Chains A and B, each alone.
Chain A
């Protein structure tokens, strides 16, 4: 469960404040996969980062007793000069894993990502596809209550895409996702409920299809 209490978030621009959320109070229920929809720049990613408590509202409070993953799709946490394995080890240590657990995780990830020899090479030699494969594989080994996914479900080639989707489907049996996406097919497939962010307001829809309808209405109005 995530609780938003009078949350206001804005960005200061040259033309005044640009509101992402303007005094929003809402309760997001547990065990629900949620898709976040909105036009470009409406603040979907910011909202997701706020729910994951790595970005903070200007006013109000967001509270949750659940654990959140880092936003998937970002590889900002990797060190280019360190090997893939060393980076994996680092993230495991951040989550307080013991050396024995780390060894097991490393084996699992090496198998899953199919990086082969590249796993022992510095990240800077990786292609962007390889990087996101590693990031995706890494996020699959931890048990979070919420998995934050930012637009990037399409990692790697067709075969790996299928494999990663299977892994994700299995994962979300035990955890919930917060998914930012423009892909309606994936949203319908993965999510139960939806949030539409538009002009400083956010609306929660218990059915993802209602959220998608609303989103399309907004798009039509604008365009």
Chain B
């Protein structure tokens, strides 16, 4: 058989896995696919409604629906990268019979599929925004995109740690399930850090996802700012998670393959 170098094998495997995951998504359930794309719209509508009922028609300096749309798109991507990656090893166990497929490949492929889906959702939002003549003037497109890209790396790093942990420690996935609720309410998804009291601000600072959310919506709206974003803190989280994830993974890769 023709010898292929490491990168050629990697890209061939990634391409195959990516297309396979997409194919699975489409063929497993059309309804599931529908929800994947319409979940963000329902989330936006639901929270706009909740806010109207609880606080009435308060006047923000920014469009609350757009604010929600951006935050939930980012949060959904974060959540699904982690959820999909955690099951990747067991779901793809049969694939490790092909020598070139390494467990980490399945996580990369699944994360890429989530990023791809997020891309489509963003496109749908842009089309809707254009149709309804929303002001889609982004304050700082570079920082905004950087926030998204960085969030991808951060999510992948956390997902890798959790996927390895989930393989060897029971009930990790249950704990992560609860954690996702905590992340949803404690990551400045439907409020900005500025709206909180100083005591709460001090607590929420510890949540790295808050910084990502602040960075993303802070660089979208002209009336918001990114003064609460601590890039050093974000970087330390990303690097340590990636380091520990890769370290644990490399030590345990063979065990995962012969699971």
- B94 adjacent to A76 (CB under 8 Å): yes
Interface set, chain B 95-142, CB cutoff 8 A to A: 95-101
Cβ of B153 < 8 Å from any Cβ of A? no
Give complex CA distance A142, B4 in Å.
14
Interface set, chain A 80-97, CB cutoff 8 A to B: 81-82, 86, 90-91, 93-96
Q: Which of B4, B97, B98 has the most chain A CB atoms closer than 10 A to its own CB?
A: B97
Given contacts A76-B94, A82-B24, A145-B1, contact A53 B19 (CB under 8 A): no
Q: Which residues of B contact A136 (CB under 8 A)?
A: none
Cβ of A200 < 8 Å from any Cβ of B? no
- A93 adjacent to B15 (CB under 8 Å): yes
Q: Which residues of B contact A71 (CB under 8 A)?
A: 97
Pick from B28, B93, B94, B100: contact of A94, CB under 8 Å: B100
Interface set, chain A 139-165, CB cutoff 8 A to B: 142-145
Pick from B8, B12, B97, B258: contact of A93, CB under 8 Å: B12
Pick from B8, B12, B16, B257: contact of A54, CB under 8 Å: B257
Q: Within the complex, what minimum Cβ distance (angstroms) separates A68 from chain B?
A: 6
Given contacts A55-B257, A81-B27, A82-B24, contact A96 B99 (CB under 8 A): no
The size class of the interface chain B forms with chain A is 20 to 34
Query: Which residue of chain A has its CB nearest to the CB of B4?
Result: A96
- B93 adjacent to A93 (CB under 8 Å): no
Given contacts A82-B24, A94-B101, A95-B12, contact A143 B4 (CB under 8 A): no
Give complex CA distance A49, B165 in Å.
25
Cβ of B13 < 8 Å from any Cβ of A? yes
The size class of the interface chain A forms with chain B is 20 to 34
Give complex CA distance A74, B97 in Å.
9
Cβ of B23 < 8 Å from any Cβ of A? yes
- B16 adjacent to A90 (CB under 8 Å): yes
Q: Which of B8, B24, B93 has the most chain A CB atoms closer than 10 A to its own CB?
A: B24
Question: Chain B at the A interface: mostly helix, strand, loop or mixed?
Answer: helix
- A76 adjacent to B23 (CB under 8 Å): no
Q: Within the complex, what minimum Cβ distance (angstroms) separates B32 from chain A?
A: 11
- B1 adjacent to A144 (CB under 8 Å): yes
Q: Which residues of A contact B20 (CB under 8 A)?
A: 79, 82, 86, 90
Q: Within the complex, what minimum Cβ distance (angstroms) separates A189 from chain B?
A: 25
Q: Which residues of B contact A90 (CB under 8 A)?
A: 16, 19-20, 23
Cβ of B51 < 8 Å from any Cβ of A? no
Give complex CA distance A82, B21 in Å.
10
Give complex CA distance A74, B98 in Å.
11
Cβ of B239 < 8 Å from any Cβ of A? no
Query: Which residue of chain B has its CB nearest to the CB of A143?
Result: B1
Given contacts A74-B94, A76-B97, A77-B97, contact A93 B19 (CB under 8 A): yes
The 5 closest A-B CB pairs, nearest first, are A76-B94, A93-B16, A96-B12, A56-B254, A67-B1
A-B pairs with beta carbons under 8 Å apart, 22 shown: A54-B97, A54-B98, A54-B257, A56-B257, A67-B1, A68-B99, A70-B98, A71-B97, A74-B97, A76-B93, A76-B97, A77-B94, A81-B27, A82-B24, A82-B27, A86-B20, A86-B23, A90-B16, A91-B98, A94-B12, A94-B100, A94-B101
- A-side residues, CB < 8 A to B, are 49, 52-56, 67-68, 70-71, 74-79, 81-82, 86, 90-91, 93-96, 122, 142-145
